[in-house]
Amino acid sequence: MELSLGEMLMIALAFIVLFGPDKLPEIARGLGEGVRKMRGAVDDIKTEIMKEGDNPLSDIKKEIDKVKQSAQDFNPLAEKKNNDFISQETPKIDLSEDDTHEGPVSR
């Protein structure tokens, strides 16, 4: 919303007529103070939003880093080597010497 020079002069003239020239500096100070307070409140709100916005992102990043570290630490081959049942060698049976073994029947 843009005001032309003529519109601003009409508003200023209306203020002078309504409030008088003695009250204008007081009104201008009040408006300036109100605008400063409003800007400060907006800046505070922005700061709070940024603080709250950073926390979830940093929490998510920490969780992602934990998952990455866990994935790097996980080595299924090392786990298998440490198990007793795999480290013990099972004796190999020579089926040609085993009389109890019944292999496929050929016709």
Write down the pLDDT at residue 33. Answer: 95
Q: What is the pLDDT of residue 47?
A: 86
pTM of the model: 0.39
Residue 45 within a domain: yes
4 inside domain: no
Cα separation, 106 vs 11, whole angstroms:
112
Q: How far apart are CA 14 and CA 10, in angstroms?
A: 6
Q: Indicate whether 80 belongs to any domain.
A: no
Report in angstroms the alpha-carbon separations of 94 from 41, 55, 90, 102, 103.
87, 66, 13, 13, 12
Residue 50 within any structural domain of the chain: yes
Residue 82 vs residue 91, higher pLDDT? 91
Record the tokens describing residue 81, joined without a space: 């080597």
Residue 96 lies in a domain: no
pLDDT for 46:
87
In a domain, 35, yes or no: yes
Most confident of 25-39, 63-77, 85-99: 25-39
pLDDT at residue 84 is higher than 70: no
pLDDT digits (tens, 9 = 90+) for 7-60: 989 988 998 899 888 888 898 899 899 999 999 999 999 888 777 766 666 777
Evaluate if residue 85 carries a pLDDT over 70: no
Q: How many structural domains are present in the chain?
A: 1
Domain that holds residue 36: 11-73
| In the predicted structure, residue 90 carries a pLDDT above the cut 80 | no
